[in-house]
Structure 1
Amino acid sequence: MSSSYVMRPSRLDDFEVLMQLAEESGPGFTSLPVHERIIRERLEKSVKSFAGALPEPQYGKYLMMLEDAETGEIGGCSAVKAGVGIDQPFFNYRVITLAQASQAADRRFDMDALVLTNEFVGYTEVGTLFLRQTHRGSGAGRLLAQSRYLLMASDPERFGDMVLAELRGVVDSEGKTPFWDAMGQHFFRMEFTEADILSAITDNQFILDLMPKYPIYVDLLPPEAREVIGRCHSDGVGAMKLLEWEGFRFERTVDIFDGGPLVAAPRNMIRTIRESREVTVKVGEASGAAGIMSNDRFGEFRVSMAEGALESDDLFVTSQATLDRLHLKEGDRARIWLRS
């Protein structure tokens, strides 16, 4: 992985490149829609969130950009939403199992059903993780993902005790998804892409108005819809593996539009947070330890790869270039996660 990558808070002048990322992300990437007003609003809210200018911090949304510090090129983005289900409902389907039995008919079997829920109120959400094709395979995806957890560690009071991630479900290049075609299409009478945009620009009242209020038996859905329930998009397989490595688990909750999986974990049990430590940084030539380091300053947060050595439990020796990327100087405090 290029050691010159750095994660930094998004700025208003990231608008053009963020629109490019939205185009490249493809259909079904709900958190990064190709919609100018939404993108501008998200940049503005992120800037206010990092600046501490929101009257209610639980509504904070923190968008970060992956930048090559040497070239200025943007390679991707990721984000943290401080709380979901607070200012508007966060609807999902929970897959429940119903036991069916009849002594008279001598039958006993289980059937799955989908139940509309709004059970993640107050959870922090990690998402919007997108890495450009030309930067894949370099390890940059891990930096995109782990930087979100170091952000939480820098100021835990801003975030919920539980953290969730919603992965894009099976959607083709034309924006078609078997789950939507078998389910949502019948209740919303609109295309998947239209519902996707509505969920991003409204308070989601339309979901409460139009979604079925009763359980949907999975066996009544066509096979192509049943088989994608809880499956993530092919582009999200790597992200799913990273989430599982961090300690996130799938507990049979899926997106109401594309059937993609939701995973969750206690914030304090997330691996990057749990294994990170605060250190004082020192400039010098050292090796033997590698990982990611943040400046641990919430308002001007920055994260980068770091190599060096632990001189003691509280002192990390690394290069001047690493400190420069993080806007640190020798003797400053930082937070580091080291590969074991």
Structure 2
Amino acid sequence: MLIVRAARRTDIDAFVQLAKEAGTGFTSLAVPPEALEARLAKSEAAFASPGTKQTEDTYQLMLEDSETGRVVGCSAVKAMVGVSKPYWDFKILTLAQHSVEADRRFDMDAMMLVNDFAGATEVGTLFVSEAGRGTGAGRLVAQSRYLLIAAGRERFGEKVLAELRGVVHDDGSSPFYDAVSRPFFRMDFAEADKLSASTDNQFILDLGPQHLIYLDLLPKAVQDVVGKTHKDGAGALRLLEWEGFHYNRYVDIFDGGPLVSAWTEQIRTLNESRAVTARAASVAGGVSGIVSTDRVDNFRTCQTQAMIDGDVVGLPYETMQALDLQDGERARFWRR
């Protein structure tokens, strides 16, 4: 059984391995092992906190094979971004050009550096290793983030965003970065990526473009990747769109990948899930779905079969055990 659970400090070795597998361009994992270790410690403290209001805590989740104990994936929820550390993106604007004398009327797109998502919650760091793919694991990890938000609604913002990796070649180069951002930052893509993940992003304010960048002046090959996701992120984008996220012409300043967002209460999994009472039961011919502990501390989710009777959900003993649920305890269920 695959379960998604709150990360622990003891996950460090598995976390480092996942970061290596993710490769160049996966910004949130492009940090040294000691930074990953610090992230686990802070996440563990966040899950254990009372959580009466929104803070800048990050909740790290791990995908685990319950039979082997092996961690095969991860994801995270940043409760609040863009406040103490600006959340920079390029916003694409359309400028209307018109001249009566020249008898010309056309539009031009331009990018502007902005921090428009201050106070929003971000879902990200979604990665499943080769060992966990092809089992519906990616969807389970993705949906678990919204069940976590539902379990501690007061901890998270009114809007949720996700930034997807843009087009990055196998050699680690980014056509968008090389044409747009490198002239400003004067460093390799990998170095800029690591600085963005490990610092307060002051270097972006110090060195980034202060004026509009006209897309029409960029090479056609670069224009074609603006707002496009990396081939390995196509599935993640489809899941986000299924949840109700939309692309509103914001892109990452380094690889040009798309940023999508949604109002929290309109996210499909969160909106369709409901609080239930969990009961151990013999389940045969029931419905399928995802069940989670409806609490932030020791948060866990998994896919399961269930019998529904009003607000009571009957779950197999193995599911109850995997989630550390007691008979009669409050849980949350999303029906597939």
Q: How would you bin the TM-score normalised by the shorter chain? A: over 0.9
1:37 Cα deviation from its structure 2 partner: 2.2
| Counterpart mapping for 1:189-200 below 5 A | 189-200=186-197
Q: Does the alignment pair 1:17 with 2:9?
A: no
Q: Does the alignment pair 1:272 with 2:269?
A: yes
- Look up the match of 1:296: 294
1:55 Cα deviation from its structure 2 partner: 11
| Counterpart mapping for 1:195-234 below 5 A | 195-234=192-231
Q: Which amino acid aligns with 1:48?
A: A
- Look up the match of 1:169: 166
- Look up the match of 2:94: 97
193-202 or 257-266: bigger deviation = 193-202
Mapped to 2, the partners of 1:235 and 1:43 lie a distance apart of: 25
Aligned length: 335
| Counterpart mapping for 1:9-158 below 5 A | 9-52=6-49, 57-158=54-155
Mapped to 1, the partners of 2:132 and 2:115 lie a distance apart of: 36
Residue deviations 1:247-293, cap 9 Å, x none?
00000000000000000001010000000011111222223311100
> Is the partner of 1:138 in helix, strand or coil?
coil
Q: Which amino acid aligns with 1:304?
A: C
Determine if contact 1:91/1:117 at 8 Å carries over to the other structure: yes
1:33 Cα deviation from its structure 2 partner: 1.4
Residue deviations 1:153-196, cap 9 Å, x none?
00100000000000000011221000000011101110000011
Q: Which runs of 4+ in 1 moved over 4 A?
A: 53-57
120-129 or 215-224: bigger deviation = 215-224
Residue deviations 1:276-329, cap 9 Å, x none?
011111222223311100011211101111102112x20111211010011012
Mapped to 1, the partners of 2:45 and 2:221 lie a distance apart of: 43
Q: Percent identity?
A: 52
Determine if contact 2:31/2:198 at 8 Å carries over to the other structure: no
Determine if contact 1:177/1:258 at 8 Å carries over to the other structure: yes
CA RMSD of aligned residues (A): 1.3
TM-score by length of 2: 0.97
Q: Does the alignment pair 1:8 with 2:5?
A: yes
- Look up the match of 1:284: 281
Determine if contact 1:23/1:34 at 8 Å carries over to the other structure: no
1:57 Cα deviation from its structure 2 partner: 4.9
Mapped to 2, the partners of 1:323 and 1:11 lie a distance apart of: 21
240-249 or 323-332: bigger deviation = 323-332
Q: 1:289 to 1:53 in 2, by over 3 A?
A: closer
Q: Which amino acid aligns with 1:288?
A: G
Mapped to 2, the partners of 1:35 and 1:284 lie a distance apart of: 46
1:134 Cα deviation from its structure 2 partner: 2.2
Residue deviations 1:68-109, cap 9 Å, x none?
111101110000000000111111001110011111111111
Q: Which amino acid aligns with 1:78?
A: S
- Look up the match of 2:175: 178
> Is the partner of 2:29 in helix, strand or coil?
coil
Mapped to 2, the partners of 1:61 and 1:308 lie a distance apart of: 31
1:48 Cα deviation from its structure 2 partner: 1.2
Q: Flag structure 1 segments of 5+ consecutive residues without an equivalent.
A: none
1:8 Cα deviation from its structure 2 partner: 0.8
> Is the partner of 1:66 in helix, strand or coil?
strand
Mapped to 2, the partners of 1:215 and 1:54 lie a distance apart of: 40
Mapped to 2, the partners of 1:159 and 1:134 lie a distance apart of: 32
- Look up the match of 2:248: 251
313-322 or 50-59: bigger deviation = 50-59
1:47 Cα deviation from its structure 2 partner: 1.0
